[in-house]
């Protein structure tokens, strides 16, 4: 069967890229009921360089950096591309204007899924730039969803654990309990009905089994579903 070739920007971070790789293959084989494997491309970029542009608020440099990496995928035969991370979506619109192949937005796909579940208020976990970037909140407004980030101290805790543990593949039970505590506090104080795991490493430590009264939105899984949809788009 003919399908579009995906170009995936990976390495942001390595652990979540592995999850994307496995999920894309699994969903492809399930969708076609086949023993075949999909052909797609991965450009494993330097996360340290990418994050340095974000930290210094050099967003134009970030766009130029990512556009160059996506061009390599397009030149290698990719029909469309996706960023295997939430954080760089802070410049998604600008990036889409600069590249000549379509991009699949993790933010857009997640908001579509939240709307399907009739959720009106969702909490947001992720890196500091994702929680403070406003791009989930802005896209949420288009879908009549209120996206709420934790308090300043809680955001700093999540960001610290994200880079010092999760990106390195460390799953600390004490961190998990503190994250769950933040979620329950947001449910009581803010009335959230769902939680966006707006960092693709977060599913390494939190999942739906940890919660009985809110819906967990695994953005990596949702993104992969959108990628497969594009792959088989006529």
Dihedral pair phi/psi, residue 99, rounded to 5°: -105, 160
Confidence bin at 234 (pLDDT 50/70/90): confident
Co-location of 132 and 160 in the same domain: yes
Establish if 197 belongs to a structural domain.
yes
Rounded Cα–Cα distance for residues 86 and 104 (Å)? 12
Co-location of 67 and 128 in the same domain: no
- Neighbouring C-beta atoms of residue 192, cutoff 10 Å: 24
Confidence bin at 15 (pLDDT 50/70/90): confident
Residue 156: per-residue pLDDT: 97
Co-location of 146 and 72 in the same domain: no
Q: Give per-residue pLDDT as tens, 129-181.
A: 999 999 999 999 999 999 999 999 999 999 999 999 998 989 999 999 999 99
Give the CA count within 13 Å in the CB-facing half-sphere of 221: 11
Establish if 200 belongs to a structural domain.
yes
Co-location of 51 and 15 in the same domain: yes
Co-location of 41 and 123 in the same domain: no
Co-location of 135 and 88 in the same domain: no
Co-location of 47 and 92 in the same domain: yes
Indicate the average pLDDT of the chain.
96
Co-location of 51 and 138 in the same domain: no
Residue 13: per-residue pLDDT: 87
Average pLDDT over residues 171-192: 97
pLDDT at residue 83 greater than cutoff 90: yes
Dihedral pair phi/psi, residue 219, rounded to 5°: -65, -30
- Burial of residue 209, with CB atoms counted within 10 A of its CB: 0-12 exposed, 13-18 middle, 19 or more buried: exposed
Q: Tell the residue number behind the tokens 């010092």, with chain if given.
A: 164
Establish if 1 belongs to a structural domain.
no
Co-location of 125 and 137 in the same domain: yes
Average pLDDT over residues 19-40: 96
Confidence bin at 108 (pLDDT 50/70/90): very high
Establish if 81 belongs to a structural domain.
yes
Which domain does 133 fall in, by range? 107-218
Token pair for 130: 């994702």
Co-location of 80 and 127 in the same domain: no
Q: Is the peptide bond before 142 cis (omega within 30 degrees of 0)?
A: no
Residue 112: per-residue pLDDT: 97
Residue 3: per-residue pLDDT: 96
Confidence bin at 54 (pLDDT 50/70/90): very high
Q: What's the number of domains the chain is made of?
A: 2
Q: 209: which DSSP letter?
A: G
Establish if 79 belongs to a structural domain.
yes
Establish if 147 belongs to a structural domain.
yes
Q: Would you say 149 and 132 are in contact if contact means Cβ atoms under 8 Å apart?
A: yes
Establish if 174 belongs to a structural domain.
yes
Give the CATH number, domain containing residue 142.
3.40.50.1860
Query: Which of 49, 67, 45, 47 lies closest to 58 in space, CA to CA?
Result: 49
Percentage with pLDDT > 90 across the chain: 94
Rounded Cα–Cα distance for residues 80 and 112 (Å)? 20
Establish if 49 belongs to a structural domain.
yes
Co-location of 14 and 52 in the same domain: yes
Co-location of 89 and 128 in the same domain: no
pLDDT at residue 1 greater than cutoff 80: no
């Amino acid at each position: 069967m003919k399908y579009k070739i995906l170009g995936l920007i990976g390495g942001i971070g390595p652990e979540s890229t592995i999850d994307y790789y496995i999920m894309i293959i699994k969903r492809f084989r399930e969708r076609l009921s086949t023993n075949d494997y999909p052909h797609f491309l991965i450009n494993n970029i330097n996360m340290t360089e990418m994050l340095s542009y974000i930290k210094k608020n050099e967003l134009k440099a970030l766009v130029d950096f990512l556009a160059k990496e996506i061009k390599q995928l397009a030149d290698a035969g990719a029909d469309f591309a996706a960023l295997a991370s939430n954080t760089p979506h802070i410049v998604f619109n600008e990036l889409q204007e600069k590249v000549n192949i379509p991009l699949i937005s993790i933010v857009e796909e997640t908001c579509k899924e939240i709307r399907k579940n009739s959720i009106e208020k969702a909490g947001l976990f992720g890196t500091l730039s994702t929680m403070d970037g406003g791009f989930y909140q802005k896209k949420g407004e288009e879908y009549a969803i209120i996206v709420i980030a934790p308090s300043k101290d809680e955001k700093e805790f999540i960001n610290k654990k994200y880079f010092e543990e999760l990106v390195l593949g460390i799953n600390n039970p004490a961190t998990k309990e503190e994250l769950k505590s933040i979620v329950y506090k947001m449910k009581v104080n803010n009335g959230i009905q769902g939680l966006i795991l707006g960092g693709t490493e977060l599913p390494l430590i939190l999942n739906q089994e940890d919660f009985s009264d809110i819906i967990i939105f695994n953005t990596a899984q949702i993104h992969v579903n959108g990628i497969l949809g594009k792959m088989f788009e006529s």
